[in-house]
Amino acid sequence: MCYKYLILNYNKTSKLFSNNSSPKAWARDVFGSACLGDQRRTSRLVEVVGALAEKPLNSFCQTYPKWRDTKAAYRLIENKNITPEQFQEPSEQAAANSCRGQKVVLAISDTTSLNFTSHRATSGLGPISEIAYQGILFHSTIVVRKDGVPLGLLRQEAWVRDPKEHGKRHQRKQRKIEDKESYRWVKSILESSESMDSLSEQDRPYMIHIFDREGDIYEVFEAIEDSGDGAIIRSSWNRKISNEHKHIHDQVLNSRVLGREIIDIPRKQGERKRKTTVEYRACMVMLCPKKDHRPIEINVVAVVETNPPDGIEPLKWMLVTTEPIDTLDEVCEIVRLYTIRWRIEEYHLILKSGCRMEKVQFETADRIMKILAIFAAVALRLLQMTYQARIDPDLPCTAVISENEWRALQTYIQGKPPSPKTRPPTLKQAILWIGKLGGHLGRKSDGMPGVRTLWRGWRDLHVNFNAIIPKNFN
């Protein structure tokens, strides 16, 4: 068996959370270095981030019990002398610092849209799909360890489409890559590498960029080659190769089978979870260059289902990569690393459904981008918490949730409050309790709760928080 799901080899001395990493302490560690032109603004930002991290399911207004605190937070967001980039920089630098000493990290990028169509009073929005749907586009890069544990938010970019440019897709071949929206994939490589410049050569890890089909762009391959980084990209285009006018997909599918394996296919909508046999193939190809571009040598990996059930489309993955493919184990490792790309899908789910980013209401798109930079960091921390519980289950839960939260949680589950001398439960126990609130059955075969289940549990806990928490907890 060479195709394995997450292998949890990690250094226990390198924690994502220390034992005093409360939401407010985390906010101070990450955002305390923000350069906003005035230390009072930085202090206010730290206070706002800590409050939102402590109760991420609350709306911006619900975060503060006193109007003067709410007003001060709004003044910070509305300050015209502060840009969204100034809110983004601290968490990006913290992500780079978290990579210090790692040998290999994965830089996973993707784009999501934030729909504010119903916010008719908000100015400065642009089309996100159809012209009738208005909002903001958000492209993020999260850095993840090889075992799948997120380390930080390495890069973020929010922008609004120009309505005048909407519907000009047919002109894309006449435009330079720098003038296209797809240039964001090249920028992900360039700016992620630049973020690592703060690390010494000894501390700087080898970075593997992981993109889905949208990142299958010729200029991306050139940028990877120039940067010295690695890449694993889901192939979208059956590109021509310099081999008797053949194409990349045909070449790899006609190469020899390296091995076969029975794997689990997760349940999809309308389909049951099932087991199936897949074949692994791999080869090296030389891509035919575009006009005014150089040829690129790259490896290709194919994962193909051999005998799918009737009516089910067979699994077929085509991955282009810089990583070695000399052995079956190396090919399987490439596939395993690509499966970790799902972390960024979960991250966007937390940002939109968990932090309810699309519910925030401000008068301008610029102000929404500022609060987006804050929620983007909060969402990443919550994703870290989910996976930290899986690899370090015995960590005290106070590393990631407050004293009042775990006491309220235990009261809710057990029906009576813990005594003042009761020690905090482990992180694993707290996560299982939160999952139970969200509908997780907790059977041995169920494993740890997933992101959606955890968010349902967090929602139920915080909806009832004030009713649960007795006065003697404070």
Judge whether residue 474 has pLDDT over 60: no
Looking at residue 465, what is its pLDDT? 62
What mean pLDDT comes out for the span 165-172?
Answer: 60
Cβ atoms of 299 and 327 within 8 Å: the answer is no
Residue 1: pLDDT band (50, 70, 90) is very low
Which one is predicted more confidently, 135 or 53?
Answer: 135
Query: For 30, phi and psi rounded to 5 degrees?
Result: -85, -45
Looking at residue 296, what is its pLDDT? 93
Judge whether residue 17 has pLDDT over 80: no
- Bridge partners for 153 per DSSP: 142
Fold match between 84-169+177-363 and 393-473?
A: no
Q: Is the dihedral of CA 372, 209, 143, 86 positive or negative?
A: negative
Looking at residue 268, what is its pLDDT? 67
What mean pLDDT comes out for the span 163-169?
Answer: 66
Cβ atoms of 276 and 265 within 8 Å: the answer is yes
Looking at residue 450, what is its pLDDT? 78
pTM above 0.75, yes or no: yes
Residue 9: pLDDT band (50, 70, 90) is very low
Q: Which CATH architecture does the domain made up of 84-169+177-363 adopt?
A: Alpha-Beta Complex (3.90)
- Please state, in angstroms and rounded to a whole number, the distance separating the CA atoms of residues 200 and 111: 30
Q: What is the pLDDT of residues 191-202, one digit of tens each?
A: 999 999 889 999
CATH class of 393-473: mainly alpha
Residue 7: pLDDT band (50, 70, 90) is very low
Judge whether residue 402 has pLDDT over 80: no
Residue 473: exposure state from Cβ atoms within 10 A (0-12, 13-18, ≥19): middle
214-223, 237-246, 361-370: range with lowest mean pLDDT: 237-246
- Please state, in angstroms and rounded to a whole number, the distance separating the CA atoms of residues 186 and 260: 35
Cα 348 to Cα 55, 138, 342, 351, 420, distances in angstroms: 18, 10, 10, 5, 38
Q: Which two tokens stand for residue 385?
A: 């918490």
Residue type (1 letter), 292: D
Looking at residue 413, what is its pLDDT? 87
298-312, 355-369, 454-468: range with lowest mean pLDDT: 454-468
Task: Please report, for the chain, the start and end positions of each structural domain, with discontinuous segments joined by +.
Answer: 84-169+177-363, 393-473
Residue 19: pLDDT band (50, 70, 90) is very low
- Please state, in angstroms and rounded to a whole number, the distance separating the CA atoms of residues 370 and 214: 26
Judge whether residue 205 has pLDDT over 90: yes
Residue 5: pLDDT band (50, 70, 90) is very low
Looking at residue 449, what is its pLDDT? 82
93-97, 142-146, 243-247, 429-433: range with lowest mean pLDDT: 243-247
Percent of the chain's residues with pLDDT above 70: 87
Judge whether residue 99 has pLDDT over 50: yes
Looking at residue 10, what is its pLDDT? 29
Averaged pLDDT score across all residues of the chain: 85
